[in-house]
Structure 1
């Protein structure tokens, strides 16, 4: 269970899926749009895929809310697990609902097992008006769990989120002009602290093109690249 929760948190926090819409330049708000990313290990070998499909788009007051269905497969093509999450877009600013990272069905199953879970945090935000040198707001999420008198907390803090530069990047899906966003992340769980740095290549009208994660000492941990998309 700990590994599943940790994977859910990191898979979202290091990933920005995107396409153009009247509200957001980056996040897709069209039902049926789909995106596939190929993950690579530190040696550059394929290490599985993550697929996203926008299953629902709806209006909630002045905000437009989109739901993403997410599927993880390992390097052999075997399904690992499926999940979903949602975000809202209002006045050109995207915010993520952290609680939606944990689907209601999964939450119900854990509740029936006697697990109590409390999720809190500061939404991650991505504005339309990105500029080189811009500093973006920090974000964090904390999951407090309790079961049979045993408590466990998992927290992820995203800091030093900066728009570093613009550059062209090529993947198997094509060549794209991107903003490069850098950030630091600190994950705390079970008495352990994991510090990482990441780079995100983000293209208007398509979204996340490439993402790389590094150890605190600068050594590459993994990367993910857009390998197919349909919108």
Structure 2
């Protein structure tokens, strides 16, 4: 259950960078009915599950739009975990309603648990440029799992910077991308870890690829856009 919940937090932190164009932002998808499929790979390039995103219940127009993001994670054994959460776009800022993560569907998959979620959003401006530094983000979760068992988790995304521009090809097509470097710090129970990552972002598409590394800079896993429909 701990591994599933950490994957959920990381997927949500990635989600704002994983979406396509809307009237509010170049890199956020708030188009009703849009679907994106990402395939996860381990350090050896073997398939390690999928994450599917779909957008529903889009309301508003122009610089003020809200939508529901539905997320489905499928691991390599075929186990499926689902959740949905609310996204609001106001001008150049997109906000995630973290409390909406505590929906009945998600809680039922985790058993008898109470949660308190807080944090700051992952922000992405409309205009990116090489060398640009981006704001940090985090999610903090306090969990009570029956009896006296408590678990606190904190996931921070720090040192975000636009490194370069380059073109990459995936099963979904060829895309001109900005490459964003960041570091993710996780604190769960007594375990602390920090791992770097790079995200490839294409205008009008969003996240095309993401690579995660260990502290020595070696690849430990990747996520690639394999299907896209708007």
Q: Same fold (TM over 0.5)?
A: yes
Q: Distance in 1 between matches of 2:160 and 2:219?
A: 19
Residues 104 and 184 from structure 1, CA distance in 2 versus in 1: closer, same or farther, beyond 3 angstroms?
same
User: Which residue does the alignment assign to 2:229?
Assistant: 230
Q: Deviations over 1:170-220 (max 9, x none)?
A: 111111001111101110011000111010000010111000011111111
Q: CA RMSD for the aligned pairs?
A: 2.0
Report if the CA contact (8 A) 2:162-2:181 is conserved. yes
Residue 137 of structure 1: which of 130, 135, 138 is its match? Answer: 135
Tell me, what secondary structure is at the counterpart of 2:124?
strand
Q: Deviations over 1:27-50 (max 9, x none)?
A: 111111111111110001111211
User: Which residue does the alignment assign to 2:50?
Assistant: 49
User: Which residue does the alignment assign to 2:66?
Assistant: 65
Which structure 2 segments of 5+ residues have no match? none
Q: Deviations over 1:134-174 (max 9, x none)?
A: 11111111101224222210000111011111111111111
Residue-pair matches, total = 227
Q: Give, in angstroms, the shift of residue 82 of structure 1.
A: 1.3
User: Which residue does the alignment assign to 2:123?
Assistant: 125
User: Which residue does the alignment assign to 1:173?
Assistant: 172
Residues 206 and 121 from structure 1, CA distance in 2 versus in 1: closer, same or farther, beyond 3 angstroms?
same
Deviates more, 1:120-129 or 1:180-189: 120-129
Alignment of 1:1-231 (within 5 A): 1-15=1-15, 16-59=17-60, 63-75=64-76, 78-107=78-107, 113=112, 115-146=113-144, 147-231=146-230
Tell me, what secondary structure is at the counterpart of 1:126?
coil
Report if the CA contact (8 A) 2:81-2:109 is conserved. no
Residues 25 and 107 from structure 1, CA distance in 2 versus in 1: closer, same or farther, beyond 3 angstroms?
same
Tell me, what secondary structure is at the counterpart of 1:12?
helix
